[in-house]
Amino acid sequence: FKSRIRYFVGGTCLCSITLFALYVSTIYNKAIATSTTDIIVNSVVVLFVMELDEWIFAALEACSEKWTAHSAESDDSSSDAESRNGSSIAEMKEKIRTQQAQFESQRKEIGMLRSQQEELMLQMEEMKRQSDNSTILREAVKKLHDPQAGAAADAASEFMPQCAESESIDTSLDTDAFAEREI
């Protein structure tokens, strides 16, 4: 907790010195600068004030060696944290590479599945056309058989003698006779 207070006090001092230098340079430029040479001279003064600011910061650092030692320790701990972060970053990069490879393989599989789906769709369309063609063919054969069967049944019924249902009739002779008459 004490180190945080020290950092706060040091940061506040540094910030106040910097703001004071900015204020002084602004007031100085407005009061004195009337030509470009005056502005150049004022810029040199501002640079000197900024250098003075750095000297004061160096003096603050020298007054409290604990701050610099703690700063060095924090640099070491931050480098340890960076190395831990570096190893976790390497792990994350490896995971990303693995996931990208999986993604690419899945993309290829999807492409293959899409091509197989297209082939199946084409095969289904071909099967549907063949089914439609066979249905049309069945209907045509049925239409051809229906008039012939109807005409044959009508012709056979003309020459068949009427008898009771219990009697057995050999119709093969009648159809043979019918066939001879047509010829």
| pLDDT tens for each residue of 153-179 | 565 555 555 555 545 555 555 555 555
Domain membership of residue 42 (yes or no) is yes
Domain membership of residue 30 (yes or no) is yes
Residue 119 has a pLDDT of: 92
pLDDT band for position 116 (cuts 50, 70, 90): very high
d(CA 43, CA 132): 94
Total number of domains in the chain: 1
Domain membership of residue 156 (yes or no) is no
Question: Tokens 């990208």 appear where?
Answer: 100
**pTM (2 decimals)?**
0.31
Average pLDDT over residues 117-133: 92
Residue 125 has a pLDDT of: 93
pLDDT, one tens digit per residue, over 46-81 is 788 778 878 887 777 777 766 666 665 665 565 565
Average pLDDT over residues 99-122: 90
6: nearest Cα among 68, 74, 67: 67
Distances (CA, A) of 102 to 107, 108, 114: 8, 10, 18
Domain membership of residue 141 (yes or no) is no
Average pLDDT, the chain: 76
Domain membership of residue 70 (yes or no) is yes
DSSP 125-178: HHHHHHHHHHHHHHHHHHHHHHHHHHHHHHHHHHHSPP--TTS---HHHHHHHH
DSSP letter, residue 1: -
> Could you list the residue range(s) of the whole structural domain that residue 93 is in?
2-103
d(CA 104, CA 82): 32
